[in-house]
């Protein structure tokens, strides 16, 4: 009962499909030990042939190697199946071979009589040729291709991983797509390595087939003559045909599966299967067909040659070439011109349809960059920009406006311009046929090309030709194409101007989305406690300082809690920042308990407090003190950067908002946080000081 219970639990845990593999292996191994009747052998031999044909057809209909990733395991299982059948057949042949050629079933008898005409000498020759073809040609070639493929796949893995990381950082793909690509690269290397090892099973199977046939032949003659008193001629006829039939019925499926293995590892991965590639590439050149037809036709005119066959084949090839040329010519003909509409009698009156609003986000390109956004010319910039908007929504917390493309003849041919509400916020140049080699700081040597700067981050770079790409990568340069240059620049710009992209419409769509998920968060806040404009200003304040607004639950709950006491957007922003304090600190110090910050001298804090009170809540300080404050803050930030620490200034909560706005323009890299935003479980250590010494 315990054994049955364990078996039932195993079935419930892994399912029936999960037990199919172990049960099949156990059955194959049992065939080597248990005697099988001839009828069951017929069924198993037929199944072996059907399996080989099915594997061949599946391998021909795959578009890439990983579509049939289980093929190495299938190769092992089918090899074990053939060897088990050989063992089972050997047992039956030696025990009952004296009864006649059908002792081991009708399948073996048919292969022994029909395929080789009952002539065992012909059978031995045919069997030997099949083994040589399988062992020397197909299996050896497939194994070599798999070995080289595995080696090159492993060598290319670092470059592919870097390409995935570059696309992920540029926002072209998400985390799930990057994880899927990395898994695919690893599986590809595992597949070719497994195919290299699995091909050894097939080669061993070919050797085993020869040995098994010799054992059946010699052993059968000895058993027939010594035990069953057959004469040598009769014993040779019976056991030779049985041994040859057994060998052929095993080697033909082995040859088919070896061919399938060669198909899988030797094809180039495209969007087409093997049949489509053969038809599309082999018969796509009518000139080659015509030349072949001419050569075959001349050979058919030679006296003594099979003229009819050669001339028939030459005519067929010529007709096929003519048909392909006619179809290509028909495809190149321009479509018939559309009829020109008659001009209107008079110009229509102006209307509101003639008024066009300024695009929130726009990308204007010169005429040579139109190919980047034209799908008909393999332009992938549109796809990349879709990925940028998706990554922005995932990282920042709202969906930015759509980006509108326009061609601008006023721009230089290779120039582009990014606009926000009609005003230019960024521009650059890109060359579609070249690559931008960016020096991250550790590249060695110089490259031939046009020196420039990376438009997104200002790093030194060189536009190089495609032939110099590998040389640049080997020298330590980061090499990207023109679409990636424009997409990365655009991604950087919309990240920088995130606050300006959050308009009323985007905010309302964000609140509607939150309402669907958590309706209680918004039903009492807007517009009962706060107007939409106040919520928008709070969120824009957060975005201006480089924060995301993904935690809308905390933001809206904090606003609802304090909206009854104040409607001032700056005060509400400070309260929201305190609620988001752990996330803010984690953004600057992702994996440390000790916060190494820039402090402020107590006397300077007191002076700034007095200035703020004098200015009625605004930071009204004299020019000399302002210059001193900027100089001290710049020196502290530089000292912090030299130590490799985040440039974060820690100040009292009353000064945080005013100092952040005061220092933002001169020191955009300096982030200002308040004491109230630091969680209690964090340890603060002052490493630099503004207005004093640490």
pLDDT at 272: 65
Q: What is the mean pLDDT of the chain?
A: 80
Same domain, 478 and 515: no
Burial class, 118, CB count within 10 angstroms (exposed 0-12 / middle 13-18 / buried 19+): middle
- Residue 1 banded pLDDT, cuts 50, 70, 90: very low
Q: Which of 38, 243, 259 is nearest to 127 (CA)?
A: 243
Query: Among the three residues 456, 477, 499, which one is the final residue of a domain in this structure?
Result: 499
Query: Does position 405 have pLDDT exceeding 50, yes or no?
Result: yes
Average pLDDT over residues 196-223: 74
**How many beta carbons lie within 10 A of that of residue 664, not counting itself?**
14
332 found inside a domain: no
Q: What is the layout of strands, in order, in the sheet containing 450-453?
A: 450-453, 460-464, 435-438, 478-481
The band of 278, judged by pLDDT with boundaries at 50, 70 and 90, is low
> Has residue 323 been placed in a domain?
yes
Task: Please indicate, yes or no, if residue 223 is contained in any of the structural domains.
Answer: yes
- Mean pLDDT of the 214-241 span: 76
Note whether residue 344 is domain-resident. Answer: no
**Does residue 124 register a pLDDT over 80?**
no
Q: Print the domain residue range for 16.
A: 1-26
Count of domains for the chain: 6
pLDDT digits (tens, 9 = 90+) for 472-521: 988 989 999 999 999 999 999 999 999 999 999 999 999 999 988 888 88
Given pLDDT bands bounded at 50, 70 and 90, which one contains residue 431?
A: very high
User: How many Å apart are CA 419 and CA 410, to the nearest integer?
Assistant: 15
* Assigned token pair, 643: 């130590």
Is residue 181 a contact partner of residue 66, using CB atoms and an 8 Å limit? no
Whether 545 maps to a domain, the answer reads: yes
Per DSSP, the three-state class of 522 is coil
The verdict on 485 and 603 lying in the same domain is: no
pLDDT at 541 over 90: yes
In-domain check, residue 667: yes
Q: What is the mean pLDDT of residues 67-79?
A: 79
pLDDT at 688 (0 to 100):
92
172 and 290 housed in the same domain: no
In a domain, 352, yes or no: no
Residues 523 and 600 reside in one and the same domain: no
Last residue of a domain, one of 579, 612, 628: 579
| Tens of pLDDT, residues 143-201 | 666 666 666 666 666 667 777 777 776 666 777 787 887 787 777 777 767 776 766 77
- Are residues 487 and 509 located together in one domain of the fold? no
Q: Is the pLDDT of residue 22 over 90?
A: no
Same domain, 514 and 484: no
Band (pLDDT 50/70/90 cuts) for residue 694 is very low
Residue 464: predicted pLDDT: 93
Are 124 and 180 members of one domain? yes
CATH of the domain at 688: 3.40.50.12790
pLDDT at 526 > cutoff 60: yes
Do both 96 and 205 map to the same domain?
Answer: yes
CATH code, 429: 3.40.30.60
Helical spans, DSSP H, in 61-139: 71-96, 106-110, 120-132
171 and 110 within one domain: yes
CA distances from 186 to 76, 127, 155, 157 (A): 21, 40, 12, 8
Is 340 a member of any domain?
no
Tell me the pLDDT band of 329, cut-offs 50, 70 and 90.
Answer: confident
Has residue 333 got a pLDDT over 90? no
Integer angstrom CA distances of residue 553 from 445, 517, 560: 52, 10, 11
179 with 225, same domain?
A: yes
Co-location of 419 and 465 in the same domain: yes
| Residue 218 and residue 77 share a domain | yes
- Give 7 or 195, the one with higher predicted confidence: 195
């Amino acid at each position: 009962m315990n054994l049955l219970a364990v078996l039932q639990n195993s079935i419930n845990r892994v399912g029936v499909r999960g037990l199919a593999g172990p049960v099949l292996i156990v059955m194959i191994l049992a065939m080597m030990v248990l005697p099988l009747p001839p009828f069951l052998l017929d069924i198993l031999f037929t199944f072996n042939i059907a399996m080989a044909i099915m594997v061949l057809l599946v391998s021909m209909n795959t578009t890439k190697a990983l579509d049939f990733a289980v093929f190495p395991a299938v190769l092992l299982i089918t090899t074990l199946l053939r060897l088990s059948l050989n063992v089972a057949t050997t047992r039956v042949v030696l025990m009952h071979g004296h009864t006649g050629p059908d002792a081991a079933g009708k399948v073996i008898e048919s292969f022994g009589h029909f395929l080789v005409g009952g002539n065992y000498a012909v059978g031995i020759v045919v069997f030997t040729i099949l083994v040589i073809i399988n062992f020397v040609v197909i299996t050896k070639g497939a194994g070599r291709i798999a070995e080289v493929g595995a080696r090159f796949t492993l060598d290319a893995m670092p470059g592919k991983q870097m390409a995935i990381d570059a696309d992920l950082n540029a926002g072209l793909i998400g985390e799930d797509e990057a994880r899927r690509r990395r898994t695919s690269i690893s599986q590809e290397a595992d597949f070719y390595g497994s195919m290299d090892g699995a091909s050894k099973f097939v080669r061993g199977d070919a050797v085993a087939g020869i040995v098994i046939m010799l054992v059946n032949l010699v052993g059968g003659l000895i058993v027939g003559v010594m035990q069953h008193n057959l004469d040598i001629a009769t014993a040779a006829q019976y056991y030779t045909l049985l041994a040859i039939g057994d060998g052929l019925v095993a080697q033909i499926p082995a040859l088919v599966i070896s061919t399938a293995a060669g198909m899988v590892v030797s094809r180039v991965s495209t969007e087409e299967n093997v049949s489509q590639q053969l038809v599309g590439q082999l018969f796509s050149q009518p000139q080659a067909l015509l030349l072949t037809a001419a050569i075959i036709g001349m050979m058919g005119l030679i006296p003594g040659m099979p003229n009819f066959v050669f001339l028939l084949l030459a005519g067929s090839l010529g007709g096929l070439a003519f048909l392909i040329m006619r179809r290509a010519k028909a495809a190149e003909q321009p479509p018939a011109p559309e009829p020109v509409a008659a001009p209107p009698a008079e110009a229509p009156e102006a209307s509101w349809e003639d008024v066009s609003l300024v695009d929130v986000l726009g990308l204007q390109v010169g005429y040579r960059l139109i190919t980047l956004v034209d799908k008909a010319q393999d332009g992938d910039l549109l796809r990349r920009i879709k990925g940028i908007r998706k990554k922005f929504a995932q990282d920042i917390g709202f969906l930015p406006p759509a980006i509108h493309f326009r061609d601008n003849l006023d721009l230089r041919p290779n120039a582009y311009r990014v606009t926000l509400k009609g005003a230019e916020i960024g521009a650059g140049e890109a060359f579609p046929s070249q690559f931008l080699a960016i020096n991250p700081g550790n590249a060695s040597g110089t490259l031939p090309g046009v020196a420039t700067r990376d438009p997104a981050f200002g790093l030194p770079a060189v536009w190089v030709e495609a032939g110099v790409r590998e040389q640049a990568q080997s020298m330590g340069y980061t090499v990207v194409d023109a679409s990636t240059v424009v997409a990365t620049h655009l991604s950087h710009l919309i990240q920088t101007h995130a606050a300006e992209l959050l308009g009323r419409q985007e905010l309302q769509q964000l609140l509607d989305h939150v309402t669907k998920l958590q309706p209680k968060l918004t039903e009492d806040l807007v517009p009962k406690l706060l107007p939409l404009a106040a919520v928008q200003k709070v969120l824009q304040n957060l975005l201006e300082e480089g924060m995301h607004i993904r935690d809308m639950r905390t933001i809206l709950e904090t606003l609802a809690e304090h909206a009854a006491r104040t409607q001032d957007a700056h005060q509400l922003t400070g309260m929201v920042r305190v609620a988001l304090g752990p996330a803010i600190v984690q953004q600057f110090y992702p994996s440390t308990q000790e916060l190494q910050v820039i402090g402020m001298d107590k006397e300077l804090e007191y002076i700034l407090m007095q200035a703020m009170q004098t200015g009625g809540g605004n930071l009204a300080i004299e020019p000399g003190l302002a210059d001193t404050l900027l100089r001290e803050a710049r020196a502290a930030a530089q000292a912090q950067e030299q130590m490799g620490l985040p440039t974060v200034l820690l100040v009292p909560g009353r000064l945080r908002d005013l100092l952040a706005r005061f220092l933002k323009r001169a020191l955009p890299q300096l982030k200002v946080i308040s004491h109230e935003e630091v969680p209690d479980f964090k340890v603060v250590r002052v490493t630099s000081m503004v207005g004093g010494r640490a």
